Structure formats: C-alpha cells, structure tokens
Amino acid sequence: MAAELTGTLMLISGDGTEITISRNAARHSQILADLMEDLPETETELPIPLDAVDGASLKIVVEWCEHFAAHQAPQGLKPVGPSKIPQWDAEFLTFEDNDTIFAVTNAANYMNVQPLLDYAIKTIAAALKGKSTEEMREYLGIESDFTPEEEAQIRSETQWAEGPSKNYW
C-alpha cells in the first residue's frame, strides 16, 4: 500500500472553477498521480488546469475520489463483475439528467479515473439495456438522420434483425 500523502492540489476546470483535492484522493486519477510523481512538490503547489473538464463534473469526480481515499479497503479497489456496480457508486451516479452522467464520464476519462469511468459507463449501459432505437436516441440526445419514410423502408428491409421470426419454414 502506498504511503499516505498530505497536502492538497488546486485544480482549475475549463470554466474557471477552482476545486481542492487531497493528494491522497488525487492518486485515484492517473493523470494527477503521474503529475505528483513527475514534478517536485513545489511545482504541484501551482493550480493544475483541466481545460477539458467543466466545474460541475470536476466537483463530482473529486467528491468520488475523496470518498474512496477515505473509505477504500487497504488492498485498493477490487474489480466487480461485468455488470455489477457497488451500491454506493450506483447511488452516487444517479443524476436528474442524462447530461450529467455523460459529463462525469468524459471527466473521468480525461482524468483517467478508471473505476469511476467503468461505473459511469456501466450506468449508461444499464439505462440503455432493452430500449428501442428511438428510446436510445432520446436518452443519448441523438437526432435521426432519416426521414420517417426512410426509417419505415429500412425497418421493412431489415425485419429479420428485429428478432426471431415465427415463420422459419
């Protein structure tokens, strides 16, 4: 187990929001861990710009990192099954709008916080499971490239892909 780190880092989001993170929690972000390892401590006292991350998402990622710095088991984060998300993470990643989970996913990816990224992606996948194409488009905020007539034509041409046919013979 790595030694406890003391002190904090100042992070600045792309929209100028300043957020403090403990050095111990910052280790959950590979980009911040590499920065702390590569630079002398006097250099990491300067604000660290994270231009690709907005302030609200950065706050959520830092909150997640701080939680796990305080609560994780000494052996570290254990991987969970392909579709399992620990209860605390599932509750933490429940937001009122889809844009927030997408922004947190992007922030976790940019900051290379792998467990949070995995849980966020699993949360999105679980929300999409069993949805129709139209429902997925709505959830993901994607507009259809086809006119209603083109969609009807494609559906008639690809009925075989919609599911098992009852008339095999």
| 8 beta partners | 22
pLDDT of residue 5: 67
Cβ atoms of 120 and 104 within 8 Å: the answer is yes
Give the span between the Cα atoms of 140 and 144, in whole angstroms. 11
Give the span between the Cα atoms of 97 and 139, in whole angstroms. 10
pTM of the full predicted structure? 0.80
Single out the residue of 18, 25, 48 nearest to residue 35, CA to CA: 48
User: Given pLDDT bands bounded at 50, 70 and 90, which one contains residue 168?
Assistant: very low
Half-sphere exposure of 39 (CA within 13 A, CB side): 14
Give the span between the Cα atoms of 55 and 75, in whole angstroms. 31
Burial class of residue 9, CB neighbours in 10 A (0-12, 13-18, 19+)? buried
pLDDT of residue 165: 53
Give the span between the Cα atoms of 141 and 135, in whole angstroms. 10
Give the span between the Cα atoms of 125 and 162, in whole angstroms. 20
**Distinct helix (H) and strand (E) counts, the chain:** 8, 3
Domains of the chain: 8-128 (3.30.710.10)
> Does 69 score more than 70 pLDDT?
yes
pLDDT of residue 1: 45
Q: What is the mean pLDDT of the chain?
A: 85
Across the range 54-83, mean pLDDT stands at: 79
Give the span between the Cα atoms of 52 and 58, in whole angstroms. 10
**Count of Cβ atoms closer than 10 Å to residue 29 Cβ:** 27
Which pLDDT tens digit goes with each residue over 78-112?
A: 555 556 888 899 999 999 999 999 999 999 999 99
- 86 DSSP assignment: -
pLDDT of residue 75: 45
The 3-state DSSP composition of the chain as helix, strand, coil percent (nearest 5) reads 55, 10, 40
User: Given pLDDT bands bounded at 50, 70 and 90, which one contains residue 39?
Assistant: confident
Which pLDDT tens digit goes with each residue over 123-159?
A: 999 999 999 888 998 999 888 888 888 888 887 888 7
User: Given pLDDT bands bounded at 50, 70 and 90, which one contains residue 74?
Assistant: very low
> Does 59 score more than 60 pLDDT?
yes
